[in-house]
Amino acid sequence: MIKTRFAPSPTGVLHVGGARTALFCWLFSRKTKGKFVLRIEDTDLERSTPESVQAILDGMAWLGLDPDEGPYFQTRRFDRYREVIAQLVDQGDAYYCECSRERLEVLREKQMANRQKPRYDGCCRELGLHPELGKPMVVRFKNPQHGVVSFHDHVKGAVSVANQELDDLVIARSDGSPTYNLSVVVDDMDMDITHVLRGDDHVNNTPRQINILRALRAKIPEYAHVPMILGDDGKRLSKRHGAVGVMEYFEAGYLPEAMLNYLVRLGWSHGDQEIFSLQEMIEYFSLDALNNSAASFNTEKLNWINQQYMMSLPLNDIVALVRQRLDRLGIDYDHELDFATVVDLYRQRSVTINMLVDSIAYCFQEFDAYDAKAAAKVLKQPALQPLQRALELFTGLQVWEAESLHAAIEAITEEFGIGMGKIGQPLRVAVTGGSFSPPIDQTLELLGRERSLARIERAIDYISTTLTT
Ligand code: GLU
């Protein structure tokens, strides 16, 4: 059975790059009816925090990337790592090394001066040292000295590294704790991982890991190292470029469906299709279609995709998210407003849930001030009389419906010999505070009689005051 794993180090939030790796792992396991494992690599005790673990779990939950197994925590597996380190020493594939920091430093400087690649010289390799009380010793893996390590990477193609390039790496620190390469290997082996999909910053570790796996007679997994994500300036994506944590996108009102769709296209393609349902992603996903060149994060494209999902997701889903957001903002929306209709009218023109909420907030809340530009343009003397007339006609309406409101507005255009915009726009700014809304008759109907009339009055006062001052 195919098994993938996502193995983040909990030293920060779940980044866009990590989320993409997790998505690829998840998709591949879903496609092949395999399993997806989540493993928290928290062996770096100084940099790992419970808050980061939670942030990673939150990010994955938001995106719906549920693991079939885990989360496993490496810190709970130290006994197992010790056991494997001892096994490697026993079978002659690892050895104790007492070289001091100073010696290694001198060696390094000498190699650098001779323009050689700094590497351990194998000083303790054949000494057969045993741990001694009070003497700090690390354990090193006995890397083969001849031959080549080759593997087929699903992204990079054939990768070969001569063993002579690899030195005897430390697998246990002097306090007995395992190093990254050792714990990863033991876990991939014990968890029966068949496919390792990860960032290509790890591609240099792979030959070392393969050598250790071989020494343990473990099956070698298949590998796919995906290129990193760049910012729009071609540099590695970082805080400098804006939001990098996936939950920042949740906070900003993006939809998880859109985020997944955006992430999958960062380094994977299927013809020139841009919009993929989850089912389609699973169906079409293949490791060999992963791109070998780095992808750039592009907020405009993400916005475009998000907008597509704003329009195409079931209305009820969008309504639920809007309500959630209003609740978080403490905005009371509990009145007769036809909520679904408002959301439906506005989702056509909102990039995110937050933008939608911002543009419909006038329906629930009084606004403090008019949009300055909009007011300067239309809340002026020529609008005064038409607005006063609108107030009269609207007050006399039997039914407060788009149709009757429309008829009243039309009557005003005829009476004053003005175009629709000359009354529609002042009304719009009067009742919404800004210059964008669905057709004005619908806007008025949605807002309801009371609020609409009060706001038209307020605008009349506003114009009168600006005229006299
Ligand atoms: N824990 C490593 C990281 O967060 C990933 C290790 C792996 O995927 O092998 O970079």
Which pLDDT tens digits describe the chain residue by residue (469 residues)? 999 999 999 999 999 999 999 999 999 999 999 999 999 999 988 899 999 999 999 999 999 999 999 999 999 999 999 999 999 999 999 999 999 999 999 999 999 999 998 999 999 999 999 988 888 899 999 999 999 999 999 999 999 999 999 999 999 999 999 999 999 999 999 999 999 999 999 999 999 999 999 999 999 999 999 999 998 888 888 878 877 899 999 999 999 999 999 999 999 999 999 999 999 999 999 999 999 999 999 999 999 999 999 999 999 999 999 999 999 988 887 655 678 888 998 998 899 999 999 888 888 888 889 999 999 999 999 999 999 999 999 999 999 999 999 999 999 999 999 999 999 999 999 999 998 888 999 999 988 999 999 999 999 999 999 888 7
Residues 290 and 300 in one domain: yes
Task: Determine the 3-state secondary structure of 225 from DSSP.
Answer: strand
Distance from Cα 370 to the centre of ligand 1, integer Å = 51
Residues 220 and 83 in one domain: yes
In contact, 17 and 228? CB cutoff 8 Å: yes
Rounded Cα gap, residues 19 and 13, in angstroms: 10
Residues 275 and 349 in one domain: no
Q: What domain range is 429 assigned to? A: 372-467
Q: Which atom of ligand 1 is nearest to the CA of 198?
A: 8
Q: Which atom of ligand 1 is nearest to the CA of 201?
A: 10
- Lining residues, ligand 1, CB within 6 Å: 7-9, 41, 184, 198, 202
Q: Which atom of ligand 1 is nearest to the CA of 184?
A: 9
Q: Which atom of ligand 1 is nearest to the CA of 209?
A: 9
Q: What pLDDT does 397 receive?
A: 96
Distance from Cα 371 to the centre of ligand 1, integer Å = 49
Distance from Cα 6 to the centre of ligand 1, integer Å = 8
Q: Within 10 A of 129 (CB to CB), how many other CB atoms are there?
A: 16
| Alpha-carbon dihedral 81, 84, 89, 92, rounded to 10 degrees | -150
Q: What pLDDT does 338 receive?
A: 74
Rounded Cα gap, residues 440 and 434, in angstroms: 12
Residues 206 and 87 in one domain: yes
Q: Which residue from 153, 184, 189 has its CB within 8 A of the most atoms of ligand 1, so it is best to mutate?
A: 184
Domain final position from 226, 242, 274: 226
Q: Which atom of ligand 1 is nearest to the CA of 11?
A: 4
Residue nearest to atom 7 of ligand 1 (CA): 7
Domain final position from 313, 333, 351: 313
Residues 254 and 298 in one domain: yes
Residues 297 and 340 in one domain: no
Distance from Cα 7 to the centre of ligand 1, integer Å = 5
Residues 386 and 254 in one domain: no
Q: Which residue from 5, 9, 74 has its CB within 8 A of the most atoms of ligand 1, so it is best to mutate?
A: 9
Distance from Cα 332 to the centre of ligand 1, integer Å = 45
Rounded Cα gap, residues 339 and 1, in angstroms: 48
Q: Which residue from 153, 198, 206, 229 has its CB within 8 A of the most atoms of ligand 1, so it is best to mutate?
A: 198
Between CA 140 and CA 147, with CA 146 as vertex, the angle to 5 degrees is: 120
Distance from Cα 9 to the centre of ligand 1, integer Å = 6
Residues 160 and 194 in one domain: yes
Residues 286 and 425 in one domain: no
Q: What pLDDT does 334 receive?
A: 66
Residues 48 and 144 in one domain: no
Among the listed residues 189, 264, 263, the one whose alpha carbon sits nearest the alpha carbon of residue 219? 189
The total of structural domains in the chain comes to: 4
Distance from Cα 162 to the centre of ligand 1, integer Å = 23
In contact, 220 and 214? CB cutoff 8 Å: yes
Residues 404 and 453 in one domain: yes
Match 């911002």 to its residue by tokens: 358
* CA R_g for the chain: 32
Query: What are residue 158's DSSP bridge partners?
Result: 152
Q: Which atom of ligand 1 is nearest to the CA of 188?
A: 9
Distance from Cα 74 to the centre of ligand 1, integer Å = 12
Q: What pLDDT does 133 receive?
A: 80
CATH number for the domain spanning 408: value is 1.10.10.350
Q: Which residue from 11, 41, 204 has its CB within 8 A of the most atoms of ligand 1, so it is best to mutate?
A: 41
Among the listed residues 32, 7, 35, 33, the one whose alpha carbon sits nearest the alpha carbon of residue 21? 7
Q: Which atom of ligand 1 is nearest to the CA of 6?
A: 8
Distance from Cα 48 to the centre of ligand 1, integer Å = 13
Domain final position from 298, 313, 328: 313
Distance from Cα 262 to the centre of ligand 1, integer Å = 22
CATH number for the domain spanning 140: value is 3.40.50.620
Distance from Cα 39 to the centre of ligand 1, integer Å = 9
Residues 214 and 85 in one domain: yes
